Amino acid sequence: MSIEWYIVLSSLLFATGAMGILLRRSPIVILLCLELMLNAGNLALVAFSRMVGNEEGQVFALVVMVVAACEVVVGLGLIVAIFRRKLPLDVDELTELRG
């Protein structure tokens, strides 16, 4: 398969993730859609690394995985904190920081 196919699939997945973030209101699902976008980026990184024939892009993908794990930990911690304070788990109702 030529590398083009992987890049097209990656941009399709990225657009799907962005659409989910715009569409959904539950913070858990928004975090899941962020995962989709990060994984689409990972797929593009690995595909480009194969295209160049050099493993350095795969190290980038590994670092993206680490950052994604950190984001999940902090995001889920925030969700648990929101739940503990008996606030609604809906990004449209959490408007305290709105200017």
Partner 1 sequence: MEAVLFFAAALGALGGAIGVVAMRNPFYSVLALIVHLFSLAVLFLLLSSAFIAAAQVVVYAGAVMVLYVFVVAYVGSGDESAWEPLPGQRLLAPLIGIALFVELAIAVLASSLLALGSDGPEVEAGFGDPAAIGYLLLEKFLVPFEASSILLLLAAVGAIVLAGRRREGGRA
Which residues form the interface with partner 1 (CB under 8 A)? Answer: 1-9, 11-20, 22-26, 28-29, 31-33, 35-36, 39, 42-43, 46-47, 49-53, 55-56, 58-59, 61-63, 65-74, 76-81, 83-85, 89-90, 92
Tokens of 22: 């715009």
For partner 1, the closer of residues 17 and 96 by Cβ is 17
**CA–CA separation, 55 vs 52, rounded Å?**
9
> Can you read off the two tokens belonging to residue 99?
């200017």
Cα torsion 72, 77, 80, 85: sign: negative
Distance in Å, CB of 72 to partner 1, minimum: 5
